[in-house]
Chain A
Amino acid sequence: MIYDFLNDLTGSPFIAGTITALLPLFAFILPFALFAVLLERKVAGHMQDRLGPMRVGYHGILQTVADIIKLIQKEDIIARNNDKLLFNIAPVLTFAGSYAAFAAIPFSSVFLGANIDLGIFYIIAVTGLVVAGILMAGWASNNKYSLLGAMRSAAQIISYEIPTILVVLSVVMLTGTMSLYDLSESQSSYFWNWYLLGGPEFEIQKFLLIPFMLIGFLIIYISTLAEVNRTPFDIPEAESELVSGYHTEYSGMKFAMFFLAEYANMFAVSAILVALFLGGYQSPFGYLGNLLNINWLIPLEQFFWFTFKGIFFVFVQMWLRWTLPRLRVDQLMAASWKYLIPIAFFNLLIIGIISIL
């Protein structure tokens, strides 16, 4: 989308590609991470009967900026027995994985890095890189806690990818497209067209689908929670057991990379949920732009709705984090293999049967 536009404008695929690649980082991920870290601390604070950061700026709004300045100043510590090459690659790889996912996320009908036909498939594949980064970090740190954390993380992310994919598959099967743009476009304008509520086609099947779509949504929500290592599945970085898991040994900007990747990932998985089940960038109540006949307003509204829905799910993730305790590693595996995967399979089967009715 943006790439095509810029390509026409500048006539150079290289410039167009560079700008398209940098746009989500500067226009979205960094501001979002700044906002999300502050949001997390404020949510935590208010849930715990305290105020959260209050000193830097009005009600602490500049706290994250101050934190980042602090992190940039910090010494980049590499211990003597670390595997230096892997130790340096790991945070970059982790961040690249979650960053690359943003290329295919449709923020609005015009703000979409690349309209890939295999959009959802691409995102799932590319976020798989994160596992490699985490494993590298754990191994290269030469720290037993980090290694345990990385091992747990790899096991966890891989086992929870299966239910995620199964649910994604059921939606893909229903719609016949893997492009997130097409998926979002098909759920146009009103909330009863969302796939969470059975999809846009107004037939008897729609009503049969609703309960199974809800089940599917719950499964994918739980498993994406595990994929981004959030409570109750934050076992890899369980601070009370493994200190900080795989990023214990990291300091300064490398630590910030892991941190940024975590928050970028939180939004990326929420974006997948939104695009698949909640109408993507479509407004639930129609557009103000249509009403007032202002065409340029519509993409802005779409951007607003997409980020609103995405941040809402990020908020729910935070809410859960400050409410629930943490599962144990074997219980976590049991939850995926014994419950989520079988249920997801049956759900897939039933949705398949309903869709051919």
Chain B
Amino acid sequence: MSVRTEEMVLNMGPQHPSTHGVLRLELTLDGEIITKVVPHIGYLHRCFEKHCEVMSYPQVIPYTDRMDYLAAMGNELGYVIGVEKLLRIQVPERVEYIRVIMAELQRIASHLVAIGTYGADIGAFTPFLYCFRDRERILNLFEITCGARLLYNYIWVGGLSHDLHPDFVRLTKEFIKEFKPNLRELNNLLTYNKIFIDRTANVGILPLETAINFGVTGPMLRASGLKWDLRKDDTYSVYNKFDFDIPIGEGKMGTVGDSWDRYYVRVLEMEESLKIIEQAIETLPDGDVTSAIPKKIKPPVGHVYSRVENPRGELGYFIISDGSTSPFRVKVRAPSFVNLQIMDELCRGHLVADVIAILGSVDIVLGEVDR
């Protein structure tokens, strides 16, 4: 009698603790080895792009918040830069500085969630709560600035909704001072933990060639070894005034482009973001943040593509204006959506447990994938 084996199809999600939202992965397993991964998306689709066509330009901003809800400031920034390009207006220096501070604080908050949940995926629950403790402080900073903790509607076309709170600079400095030792503690607890390295190094290796072919951006691309960061390479706002490095994956614990590199690039980026915030706070110019806000936003006929380096990669907005008060079309290039395509390529031949490790290192936000 011959023994027959067959592949098992395992549904991971949409209700699964580690799919980071409502992603459904259809895994085809040979024993515990993955032979195929098919991501099914769309559970969180909210017609963002269609909505934009019937709303005025400022009304779109709260909707951009809800895409990558862990990095709402970055989303607003990208959209607003696009509209300002269409309108051809200059914003005051102070506005640009505050925008950079907010975007970088948001990057730290977003990366904290990314690495915290990554630790939880691997089985270390304590770093997750340490990360959330620190993120909480950033959210408090946002709260005193604009009243909201997650979805801000803070960066407006031509300015900001509020000026900084009088305590903001002091509190931010305090946060930076206390966050640095916490980051070291996190590194000792998780980053250099032998078991953590065993679980993530040499898992889900993404070669640079493949990464570029799939259009992968952000920390994932940098972890594969390419120094590509829009803040430097296609600079926007006032990023050219600050001195910071762009960390890339070096394969310190395994191969270049493995999950550990993707994780570690995020850790290093947080340090670089701290540098930017420190510099921006030191040189923060005075001025009025609402002076340049136009009374009526009615851009001339034309189109623009604006892109910013969000925590998850290149966030692009293609905005077409037909001369009316609402955009004719807003197309979003969402980094999570593009990065998610790599899953099948990365997971093949790995074990089920590695799917979690890889998905965590890709770091997707379903709000942005489905929009």
Residues of A within 8 A of B (CB): 44, 47-50, 144-145, 148, 231-232, 234-235, 238-241, 243, 322-331
Q: Identify the interface centre among B16, B126, B199, B355: most chain A CB within 10 Å of its CB.
A: B126
Alpha-carbon separation in the docked complex, A44 to B10 (Å):
32
Number of A-B contacts (CB under 8 A): 75
CB distance from A284 to the nearest CB of B (A): 31
Contact partner of A241 among B124, B196, B353, CB < 8 A?
B353
Contact B129 A234 (CB under 8 A): no
- Please determine whether B195 and A240 come into contact, CB atoms closer than 8 angstroms: no
Bound Cα distance from A235 to B123, whole angstroms: 9
Report whether B190 and A328 are in contact in the complex, using a CB–CB cutoff of 8 Å. no
**C-beta contact mask, B123-134 vs A, less than 8 Å → 1, else 0?**
111100110010
**Chain A binding surface SS class:** loop
Q: Which residue of A lies closest to B8 (CB)?
A: A144
Give Cα distance in the complex from A148 to B121, angstroms. 18
In chain B, what residue has the closest Cβ to A234? B123
Report yes or no: A238 in contact with B353, Cβ–Cβ below 8 A: yes
- Contacts A144-B8, A239-B17 given; indicate if A50 touches B129 (C-beta within 8 A): yes
Q: Which residues of B contact A48 (CB under 8 A)?
A: 125-126, 129-130
Q: For the complex, give the distance between the alpha carbons of A161 and B356 in Å.
A: 28
Q: Contacting A325 at CB < 8 Å: which of B32, B119, B133, B352?
A: B119
Decide if B368 is an interface residue (CB 8 Å cutoff): no
**A49 in contact with B129 (CB, 8 Å):** yes
Answer whether residue B345 sits at the interface, using C-beta atoms and an 8 A cutoff: no
For residue B353, which residues in chain A have a CB less than 8 angstroms away from its CB?
235, 238, 241, 328-329
CA distance A232 to B195 in the complex (A): 8
B126, A238: Cβ atoms closer than 8 Å:
no
Interface residues of B (CB under 8 A from A): 8, 10, 16-18, 32, 119-126, 129-130, 133, 189-190, 193, 195-196, 198-199, 351-356
- Cα distance A47–B125 when bound, in Å? 10
Would you mind naming 13 contact pairs between A and B with Cβ atoms under 8 Å apart? A148-B352, A232-B123, A234-B123, A238-B123, A240-B17, A240-B120, A240-B123, A241-B356, A326-B123, A326-B195, A327-B199, A328-B198, A331-B199
- Tell me which residues across on chain A come within 8 A of B126, comparing CB atoms: 44, 47-48, 322-323
Shortest CB-to-CB span from A331 to chain B, Å, is: 6
Minimum CB–CB distance from B183 to chain A (whole Å) comes to 15
**Cα(A148)–Cα(B351), bound, Å:** 12
Find chain B residues with CB under 8 A from A239 CB.
17
Q: Which residues of A contact B133 (CB under 8 A)?
A: 49
Check A240 against B124 for contact (C-beta < 8 Å): no
Most buried by A among B121, B123, B352, B355: B123
Query: Across the interface, which residues of B come within 8 angstroms of A325, CB to CB?
Result: 119, 122-124, 190, 193, 195-196, 199
CB-based nearest B residue for A334: B198
Instruction: Judge whether B195 and A324 touch: CB under 8 Å.
Output: yes
**Given contacts A232-B195, A324-B124, A327-B198, could you give 17 more A-B pairs where the C-beta distance is less than 8 Å?**
A48-B125, A148-B352, A235-B353, A240-B17, A240-B18, A240-B123, A240-B356, A241-B353, A322-B126, A324-B123, A325-B190, A325-B196, A325-B199, A326-B123, A326-B195, A328-B351, A330-B351
